[in-house]
Amino acid sequence: MKKYFNLFDFKQKVDYKTEILSGLTVALALVPEAIAFALIPGFSPLTGLYAAFILCLVTSILGGRPGMISGATGAVAVIFVGLILELKRTFPGIEPETILNYVFATVIIAGVLQILAGVLRLGKFIRLVPHPVMFGFVNGLAIIIFMAQFPNFYQKGTDQLLTGPSMYIMLGLTLLTMVIIWGFPKLTKAIPSSLLAIVVVSAIVIGFGVDTLTVADTMGEGETIKGGFPPLSIPQLPMTLKTLSIIFPYAAIVAGVGLIESLLTLNIIDEITDTRGSGNKECVAQGTANILSGFLSGMGGCAMIGQSLINTSSGARARLSGITAAIMLLVFIMFGSSLIEQLPMAALVGLMFMVAIGTFEWASFKTFGKMPKSDVVVMVLVTLITAITHNLAIAVLLGVIISALAYSWENAKRIRARKYTDENGVKHYEIYGPLFFGSTTLFSEKFDIANDPKEVVIDFKESRVADMSGIEALNKITERYAKAGKKVHLRHLSKDCIRLLANAEDIIDVNVMEDPTYKVAVDKPEIEI
């Protein structure tokens, strides 16, 4: 019988066995990626592993999305490459230890910015990311995860593919891992198939002494993952404006990229688990974790979609799995480094291949004939930018901007005006569609000021004035009628519009002759509320 306990989340039931086994699987999957991402800017493997431990532990306890996994990521690691190049240009001959001090300081400031974003409740703005951008983001990440495994099929230290028995062994073990992950759940879900696959393939390699690539082979000469508890590392830097001018831009980028990737991952896990996380809470947790990472010799990071999907696909839904993963990762570093370094990369490559296949939104292909062309373009563009540049923030921001422009263009064409003259000779313009910056030109073209009668009614019952451009367009129309000696009545202005008109009084000479609905006009209202 399953035992349940509410751990750090009184609404979430915890299945101990599932959470612990899933956490162990995630810990094994964190090791090679943390090492690989640390090596991108030339850091020690322990710098990435310490960051993975701290990020995973803190966000699992404090984060807004139980079951989501954070750690050292490639998106953040790439940013440090630029920082290191700038430091070497600014300070020729700078020592590696000094570079690390700048990196740790950058991570700390990025954490402060992320906490500030959470306190200001900016996490809600992730809702502005359109679905095509989400599709593109997920598909791009799946491609990145898939392509990142191919260096494991090259001969160590070269750009030559493995050949002969070495290639056959690598392919065979990778395929075996994928088959176990795919097929075992059809028999039973008592044990996470990912963990079983790693154990089985590792047992074959270690037990039979199979000559294949291991975790130790992915590290530099003489490097190891063996270490102690993350050591305290207070950045020793001159407190000057020059130091801040170097650090702050990169800290802002780290904070932005980290939050975008984390909040998008949160949304994806929300959909998978049919629950809802807290974006603002996650911002604060990510910031806290990065601050601690900077003070404890870690390179910082953010949420990891691959490891998060491994966790949720194994059945984990609570915080215990992430906490277990972090603790087990520290155990590997402190006591199990020799065993972990013997793990075959084929098992971990097969696992990440399955993650990539599961991450990719295959259903997005079915939408090509059903979605608007602009949405298809956005989805493909975000996928390509994400996959090619690995710059998730730029890809998502461009996707949002293009989607917003496409939406504005479509809505700009929807402004309509039904015209008729009543029995009293008053001409009515009934406006349909939003009046905003994109539709002001079409709106102005609807009126025939020269040939209109002396009295005109512009009715906004089926419309709304959305921004300052709309207010200005409305003001210009009333001014043109006033110059022609004709009277204009504005009706059914929304509350939002009234507020905008009131706010605009000091900027624009608002010529509102009448608003019967909200009694803003100077004349008596013709229609009572």
Identity of the residue numbered 102: Y
For tokens 């490559």, the residue is: 349
Structure tokens belonging to residue 328? 């087990």
What are 336-361's pLDDT values in tens digits? 999 899 989 999 889 889 888 888 88
- Cα separations in angstroms, 309 against 83, 148, 487: 31, 17, 64
Other CB atoms within 10 A of residue 280 CB:
17
For tokens 């139980």, the residue is: 66
Q: How far is CA 337 from the centre of its chain?
A: 32
Q: Annotate 343-370 with b (16+ C-beta within 10 A) or e (fewer).
A: bbbbbbbbbbbbbbebbbbeebeebeee
Are 317 and 274 in contact by the 8 Å Cβ rule? The answer is no
Domains of the chain plus CATH, in order, are 28-403 (no CATH), 416-503 (3.30.750.24)
Are 73 and 265 in contact by the 8 Å Cβ rule? The answer is no
Are 65 and 268 in contact by the 8 Å Cβ rule? The answer is no
Predicted pLDDT of residue 80:
92
Spatial distance between the Cα atoms of 255 and 114, rounded to a whole number of angstroms: 6
Spatial distance between the Cα atoms of 379 and 361, rounded to a whole number of angstroms: 11
Predicted pLDDT of residue 498:
64
Handedness of CA 334, 335, 337, 340 (dihedral sign): negative
Integer-rounded Cα Rg, in Å, for the chain is 29
Predicted pLDDT of residue 246:
93
Predicted pLDDT of residue 527:
36
Report, as ranges of residue numbers, the positions in the chain whose pLDDT lies below 70.
Answer: 1-12, 494-529
Q: At what angle do helices 320-334 and 16-39 cross, to 10 degrees?
A: 50
Spatial distance between the Cα atoms of 310 and 32, rounded to a whole number of angstroms: 15
Are 346 and 178 in contact by the 8 Å Cβ rule? The answer is no
Interacting residues of 426 by C-beta distance below 8 A, sequence separation 6+: 453, 455, 456, 457
